[in-house]
Structure 1
Amino acid sequence: MARKKVTLQYTPNDSTRRGTFKKRHRGLMKKASELAILCDVRACVLVYDEGEMVPEVFPSHVGAVKILNIFKNMPELEQYKKMMNQEGFLRERIDKLRDQLRKFGREAGTTRDPPAQGHVWQPP
C-alpha cells in the first residue's frame, strides 16, 4: 500500500520532533551508506543535533575529514562545476519551464514568448 505524502513543516511538539529527528536521522545515515556502497562514491554526512556541540558523522570523523580535504584540494572551477544553491536551482527550473512553455506555444500555434522575470504570463 502506498504511503500518504507528508507535508513538510516545523513540528512544534518537542517530543514528536525529537522522535521524527531520530527516525529520519537514522534513515539519512542509512541512505548515505547505501549510496556510497551501491554507487561506489565517496559520501559524507554531518548532522548537528539540537543542543549538541559535536556532530554525528558518516562514515567516520577521519573518513569525513579525508573526503572534505579531497574536495578542498580540487581546483576551484572543479569544485563549483556541479554545485548549486537554492537560487541557482530555482533559476534553472524556471528556465526549463520557460522553454517548455515556448515549445507548447509553438505546438499550439501561438508564438508569444513568456515575459521576463517578475511578470506573470497570461496565455492569449
Structure 2
Amino acid sequence: MGELTTLCEVNGFAIVYDQDNSESAVWPSPLKVEELIARFFNIPEVERKKKMSHQETYLTERAAKGRPCP
C-alpha cells in the first residue's frame, strides 16, 4: 500500500481483518486512517461520488467501449 500511494501520489490506507486474530492490521497508522476517513467525509457528497465506480458499471462501460459502433 505504501508503494501504491507513493507511485500514484495519492492518499490511501489499508485495514486487513484476520478471522484468527482479534486485532486488525492497519496501515499507515490508526490515527492517519481516522484522519483520511474524516477528510473523505468532509468532501461534499456530490464531489465524492463524481469519480466513483462500481465493478458492475465499470465492466459494463469497458464492454461498451470494446463494441463496434452501429
Q: Which TM-score applies when normalising by structure 2?
A: 0.82
Match of 2:43 in 1: 74
Q: Does 2:14 align with 1:45? A: yes
Deviation at 1:97, TM superposition (A): 1.3
Distance in 1 (CA, whole Å) between partners of 2:29 and 2:21 is 17
Q: Give 5+ residue unaligned stretches, structure 1.
A: 1-31, 103-112, 114-124
Structure 1 CA distance for aligned equivalents of residues 63 and 7 of structure 2: 32
Greater CA radius of gyration, 1 or 2? 1
Deviations 1:5-60 (A, max 9, x none): xxxxxxxxxxxxxxxxxxxxxxxxxxx11122344321111111123333211110
Give how far 1:65 is off.
Answer: 0.7
Q: Cα gap change, 1:85/1:53 in structure 2, threshold over 3 Å: closer, same or farther?
A: farther
Structure 2 CA distance, aligned partners of 1:74 and 1:80? 10
**Which has a greater percent of strand?**
2
Within 1, Cα distance between the matches of 2:23 and 2:4? 24
Query: 2:2 matched to which residue of 1?
Result: 33
Pairwise CA RMSD: 1.6
Count, aligned residues: 70
Q: Closer, same or farther in 2 for the Cα pair 1:81/1:53, shift >3 Å?
A: farther
The answer for unaligned runs of 5 or more in structure 2 is none
> What percentage of aligned pairs have identical amino acids?
37
